Amino acid sequence: MKKNSYDTIIVGCGTAGIFAGYELQKLMPGMDILMLEQGKDIYNRMCPIVEKRVSTCINCNSCGIMNGFGGAGAFSDGKYNFTTQFGGWLNEYLDSNKIMDLIEYVDTINVSFGATLKRYSTNSPEAREIARKALSHDLHLLEADVKHLGTENNRQILTKIFDYLSERVEISCESGVESIEKQEAGYKITLTNGKAAVCKYLIVAPGRSGAEWFAAQCRKLNLQLINNQVDIGVRVELPARVFENITDIVYESKFLYRTKLYGDLVRTFCMNPYGHVVSENVDGIITVNGHSYTDPAYRSENTNFAILVSNRFTKPFNEPYQYGKRIASLSNMLGGGVLVQRFGDLIKGKRTNEHRLAQSFTVPTLKATPGDLSLVLTKRHLDNIIEMINALDKIAPGTANYDTLLYGVEVKFYSSRLLLTSEFETELPGFYAIGDGAGITRGLSQAAASGIHVARVIAEK
């Protein structure tokens, strides 16, 4: 920090924080804005796994995939969804038409920094036929247009945005926030290095990696929090040909299914055609995810996607975040990180070992430890996942092949949600919370939209 007083401080330079800063400086060019980020800037963000320097996570002090300018989305494959059906809960605060206007506006900004114009849609005749066939097996295809920015292009876009913002606002990376304090005329932000600054308006956009820290700060400020959900499952990897009749048309298919055995909601998530399975570090716990590149040179022969089981808890239990981390930690304990198992081995109750994995026709894109997911996930989770795979096999024959690979575990944490107004203002005046870390979004488009909205609110004030 160059000073100790600002008009507005934005905590977190993920998608929500970036677009809040972008819109605020555009509407209020004379405003004194500070953007704080605990990770590195976009030029120095790196992951040894992504760069092929190591094959497994080495527990960097600050995870390059999860933290840094661009947030967790920087190393994602950059799926930008045009919908209010998924990707967040902004429709609980704003009119759906307004949300779509915000999402379209963010897209124009991305395009100005180099994003593709190509969209995939579920509204084409071919996509509607896929939805019809899926429905006959009780699989529900969610409707949306989507752009695939690509892992490599996503980072290039963020680099251009970083350069643009750096000339107009103060960005301080490697500046973790220790505490937030309410003061008479605003808020005091104290960094982990002891430096402090005050501001009139405070926007907190901590992202997923800062969710627990933010929840702790909110409790200290006596702000109400609600969080009773976590999604737990596996990442599936199989030959790209199995799903190409679907992915070539809609690119990312999001299917919802209610299991017959338990009546639980299961969904596919983050589908990556010709992609790569990757690991990521969430507060010291190694979980699994997926990426996909637009450049054919970086494509694999496989498609990967998550199958997630939604867990919504009732009182007195109120720590779903910890529940998800504990399950993921079992995988880390047994395999030193991510486990991988062939679907056929799981069905037969066999542990996949190096010998069995070497016989697989599906070649893994992530070096993971062969093991037994039944020692990690609960019976209910596994029953739901198996039933979902068998259902998907009816619309994409080959999904339930013996050599389909299951990586575990994949956990999607739902950040604690604050009591917010339609302006995303907390119970404390001038204190706003946005993005995934505030529990109101779950993806690039709605996170960015929340940042634009709160910037316009502050500019009007």
**Predicted confidence (pLDDT) per residue in 216-238, tens digit:** 999 999 998 887 688 999 999 99
Report the length, in residues, of the chain.
461
What count of other Cβ atoms lies within 10 Å of the Cβ of residue 297?
6
What are the respective helix, strand and coil percentages of the chain, to the nearest 5?
Answer: 35, 25, 40
Considering only the C-alpha atoms of the chain, give the largest distance between any 2 of them, rounded to a whole number of Å: 67
pTM of the model: 0.87
**Predicted confidence (pLDDT) per residue in 100-157, tens digit:** 999 999 999 999 999 999 999 999 999 999 999 999 999 999 999 999 988 789 999 9
Which pLDDT value is given to residue 413? 77
Which pLDDT value is given to residue 57? 67
Range in 39-43, 205-209, 387-391 the model is least confident about: 205-209
**Predicted confidence (pLDDT) per residue in 156-204, tens digit:** 999 999 999 999 999 999 999 999 999 998 999 999 999 999 999 999 9
**Predicted confidence (pLDDT) per residue in 268-322, tens digit:** 999 999 999 999 887 788 899 998 888 888 899 999 999 999 888 777 776 787 8
State yes or no: cis peptide before 177, omega within 30 of 0: no
- Residue 198: both structure tokens together: 């005050």
Q: How confident is the model at residue 260 (pLDDT cuts 50, 70, 90)?
A: very high
Q: What secondary structure, in 3-state letters, does 39-102 show?
A: CCCCCCCCCCCCCCCCCCCCCCCCCCCCCCCCHHHHHCCCEEEECCCCCECHHHCCCHHHHHHH
For residues 451 and 434, is the Cβ–Cβ distance under 8 A?
A: yes
What count of other Cβ atoms lies within 10 Å of the Cβ of residue 333?
10
Q: Could you tell me the fold of the domain covering 5-120+146-226+415-460?
A: FAD/NAD(P)-binding domain (3.50.50)
Q: Which helix (H) or strand (E) holds 34?
A: strand 33-36
Q: Which residue do the tokens 């500046």 mark?
A: 175
Q: Which helix (H) or strand (E) holds 408?
A: strand 405-413
Q: How confident is the model at residue 211 (pLDDT cuts 50, 70, 90)?
A: confident
Determine the Cα–Cα distance for residues 244 and 253; give it in Å rounded to an integer. 11
- In the chain, domain spans: 5-120+146-226+415-460, 229-413
* Strand partners for 196: 190
- Fill in the amino acid letter for 139: L
Residue 186, C-beta contacts closer than 8 angstroms, at least 6 positions apart = 198, 199, 200, 201, 202, 430
**Predicted confidence (pLDDT) per residue in 32-84, tens digit:** 999 999 999 999 988 776 666 666 666 777 777 788 999 988 777 789 999 99
Q: Report the DSSP pairing between strands 33-36 and 5-11.
A: parallel
**Predicted confidence (pLDDT) per residue in 240-251, tens digit:** 999 999 999 999
